[in-house]
Structure 1
Amino acid sequence: MLGWHVPRPDEAMLISGGKRTGTPFKIIIGHGSFVLPLRSRVSYLTLSMQEAEVAEECVTKQGIAVNVKAVIAFKVGADPEGIANAAQRFLGSEDKMSVLTGRIFAGHLRSIIGSMTVEEIIRERQRLAEEALEASKLEMSKIGLVVDALQIESIDDMGSGYIKALAAPHVAEVQRAARVAQAQADQASAEAEQLSQRKQAEYERQTAIARAGFKAETDKAQATAAQAGPLAEAQATQDVLDAQTELAQRNASLRQEQLVAEVLRPAQAEAQKIKILADAEADRLRRLSEAGAANDRVALDQQLIAQLPEMLRAAADSLQNANLTVLGGSDGLGDLVSGLAAQGLNLFEALRGSVGQPDARRGDGNAAASRGPNGADLAALTGGNGGSVAGPPQPRPIEEGRKA
């Protein structure tokens, strides 16, 4: 529309012309305005952020020259007074704002750095920036500018080595700490590696032991399986031998009992019978002997007869405890007992004969001694009972005495 003007958001529109009080021009920000042609004039002042750099050589309180670099961010003030001040000074030559701002701050930096040491400048950069802003605030407001930020970029001792010398102890300490930390890190790494190797070696050892144990168990199981057949066969053979041994022992026990029943007990019974018969015979002979006690021969026979039961009893006792093997069963046992009885009678006759031999040489004087009280022959008396005792033919010493 003709005569209607609208400024940009970062601009201030200045309308000059006509009669005004206060400011010499009308300031429009953020909206449009109608401007009469030929009667008014329109100008624009930027309100955007601008930048100024400062690189100034300064001397510290210690007399050490340093080069300070800083950056200033500023703009035109947003209030009407600031816009009016800036428009009156920079309208049409806004580039001069950066130059003038840099010079203003360079002067203030020289003044502030001259009252500080290098150490303070290095340690207290924020203080330096704040003091510079505070010192320049009045001047900047007079020219309609506002500083948003001031940043100290670098401080250089211009080759004197002072700053480097200040940093040397700290650098050395830092380097020492770094070396110590690196050594500790290397040691920790070595210890960790050695621990890992020890653990790996221990694991390998345990694995080898476990493998050896498994192999031993496997070998043992295989050997046991291989020996199972021979062991079972040997056990079966041993069982057969044990059964055969037990059977043999049972057979031997049965045979022993059979021998006891068939041989020993009948022998003991027969021996007891012989003993009883011998006692009876001895008693009968003793009575016969007592009947003819007047005869010396009868007395002698009585003594022999008295000894005969003892001899027969001794023989029976020896048979009772003897371990004999009798052939022929009960018949052989009867023959044995009959032979023993016959031998006892033969012994008796032999003793009678040996005692009666002197009488036979003297004639028939003692011939009657071989006879009993009734003139019966003693040999006939010993066998006249017709008992079970039998033996070989009896010697006849009386008849031999008669022939003599």
Structure 2
Amino acid sequence: MFGYRVPAPDQAMLISGGRRGMGTAPFRVVTGHGAFVSPVFRKTRFLTLAMCEAEVDENCVTHQGIALTVRAVIAFKVGNDKESIVNAGQRFLSDQDQMSVLTGRIFAGHLRSIIGSMTVEEIVTERQKLATEVLETSKAEMAKIGLIVDSLQIQSIDDGKTGYIAAMAAPHQAAIQRQAKIAQAQAAQASAEAEQAAARNQAEYARQTAVVKAEYTAQVDRAQAQAAQAGPLAAAHAQQEVLTAQTELAQRAAELRQQQLVAEVVRPAEAEAERIRVLALAEAERMKIQAEAAASNDRVALDRMLIDQLPLIVKEAAGGLAGANVNVLNGADGLGEIAAGLVGQGLTILDSVRQNLGTSRSLPDGEGAARARHLGPVD
């Protein structure tokens, strides 16, 4: 539209000419909207409100008298309020590049002043403190020319060839290097330990694998050997059982033969010997009685004594038979034969005694005694 002007978002439109709406300012400030401007009676100019940058590279002397070269960057702009725009427009509208030059000079002066009151150690270790103090001291001066500072960054501090900062940093560098070496050594040691542990694990795994393989191989070999020996072992066990059975059979046959020999030879011989012994004992007892009777010349007493002693003789014979180890081959029949023989012998002796008693009654005493002396043994 003819005569209508609109400033950019980062610009302030300054309209000079006329008196309406300007107040105490030499021009009217328009931001954020447009305005009608008479091309004949009014003049329009634009002031940037964008962010600007100024660099400072200044040689400064510290409180210790050490020269430092300080490099800094300042970010600034024209204030958004009408007063700041008017102040900046009156000073920089015709040459807006001068804002960066003037700002750099202002900050250079304040930077030299503040560094002169600080030591190198403070400047190096407390850069933010330095920047804050420079901003605080320059704020009022920058406001007078309509500028505000957003930030101040100290880029570098250089002591030239004096080596002060390097000497100051040497202990820290040595400590850092020492810590770095320690850390490197620890890392190397940890790496070596890890490698050794890995090697040990691998060796242990290999050992366990070898042991398992050896055990498996041994088990297979044992199984194969047992399988190969199963047949011969079974045959040997069978043969051993046969030999054992044959040995037991032979032992049983020998025991049976021994029992047969005892029954057929030893026991009959022992029984015969015991019978002869019993008869000998009876004969001796009979002769003893006859001798006693002859000595007394009393036949009647002899006969009566013999009769009285006959049960004792038979008892002694039976006692001798009871003590003998006699094996009766014919069972009850054999036992009956032995008992019958003893009884028969007793009866024979008793009959002989009776005959002698009858003869003694008819014969004279002397003849009877003589016959008693000549009485033979009883079978």
Would you call these one fold, judging by a TM-score over 0.5?
Answer: yes
Change (3 A) 1:250 1:143: same
- Cα offset for 1:117? 2.0
Change (3 A) 1:89 1:282: closer
Range with greater deviation from structure 2 (167-176 or 145-154): 167-176
What residue in structure 2 maps to residue 9 of structure 1?
Answer: 9
Could you say what secondary structure the match of 1:148 adopts? strand
Tell me what 1:25 maps to: 27
- Out of 89, 92, 96, the position equivalent to 1:90 is 92
SS in 1 for 2:130: helix
Residue type of the partner of 1:14? L
2:123 is equivalent to residue 124 of structure 1: no
What are the ranges of 5 or more consecutive residues in structure 2 without an aligned counterpart?
Answer: 296-320, 326-369
Number of the residue aligned with 1:230? 232
Taking the aligned partners of 2:267 and 2:125, their CA distance within structure 1 comes to 137
Q: Aligned residues: percent identity?
A: 64
Structure-2 separation of matches of 1:282 and 1:112? 166
Matched AA of 2:146? G
What per-residue deviation string (whole Å, max 9, x for no partner) do you get for residues 7-36 of structure 1?
A: 221111222222142222221211222333
Structure 1 140/260 Cα, relative in aligned 2: closer, same or farther at 3 Å? same
Output aligned runs, 1:114-193, within 5 Å. Answer: 114-193=116-195
Change in 2 beyond 3 A, CA 1:113/1:275:
closer
1:277-296 aligned within 5 A: none
Q: Give SS of 2:70's match.
A: strand
Q: Which runs of 4+ in 1 moved over 6 A?
A: 276-290
TM-score by length of 2: 0.69
Q: Structure 1 residues 73 and 284, CA, compared in 2 at 3 Å: closer, same or farther?
A: closer
After superposition, what is the alpha-carbon deviation per residue over 1:274-305, rounded to whole angstroms, capped at 9, x for unaligned?
Answer: 66677788899999999x99xxxxxxxxxxxx
Using a 3 Å threshold, how does the CA distance of structure 1 residues 240 and 98 change in structure 2: closer, same or farther?
A: same
Q: 265-274 vs 164-173, which deviates more?
A: 265-274
* CA displacement at 1:269 relative to structure 2: 4.4
Aligned length: 309
| Residues 1:51 and 2:53 are matched in the alignment | yes
CA–CA separation in structure 2 for the residues paired with 1:36 and 1:228: 129
Structure 2 residue matching 1:18: 3-state secondary structure:
coil
Deviation at 1:271, TM superposition (A): 4.7
Q: Match of 2:13, as an amino acid?
A: M
Q: Once the 2 structures are TM-superposed, how far is the Cα of residue 239 of structure 1 from its aligned partner? A: 0.7
Q: Unaligned stretches of 5+ in structure 1?
A: 294-316, 322-371, 388-404
Whether 2:259 is the aligned partner of 1:257: answer yes
Q: 1:42 aligns with which of 41, 44, 49?
A: 44
Give the equivalent residue in structure 1 for 2:244: 242
State the SS of the aligned residue for 1:242.
Answer: helix
**Cα distance change, pair 255–19 in 1 and its aligned pair in 2 (3 A):** same
Q: Aligned pair in 2 of structure 1 residues 250, 73: CA closer, same or farther (>3 Å)?
A: same
Partner of 2:349: none
For residues 161-200 of structure 1, the C-alpha deviation after alignment (integer angstroms, 9 at most, x for no partner) is 2222222222222222222332233233333333443444
Change (3 A) 1:251 1:16: same
CA RMSD of aligned residues (A): 3.6
Q: Displacement, 1:154? A: 0.5
For the residue of structure 1 that corresponds to 2:161, the secondary structure is coil
| AA in 2 matched with 1:155 | I
**Shift of the alpha carbon at 1:70?**
0.5
Instruction: Give deviations 1:36-71, integer Å, cap 9, x for gaps.
Output: 342322221111101111111122222222111100
Given residue 203 of structure 2, which amino acid in structure 1 is its aligned partner? Answer: A
Structure 2 CA distance, aligned partners of 1:279 and 1:111? 165
Please say if 1:100 is aligned against 2:102. Answer: yes
Counterpart-to-counterpart distance in 2, 1:137 and 1:286: 174
TM-score by length of 1: 0.65
Q: CA deviation at 1:210?
A: 4.2
Relative to 1, partners in 2 of residues 1:96 and 1:252: Cα closer, same or farther, differing over 3 Å?
Answer: same
- Distance (whole Å) between structure 2 residues aligned to residue 132 and residue 286 of structure 1: 169
Q: Secondary structure at the match of 2:94?
A: coil
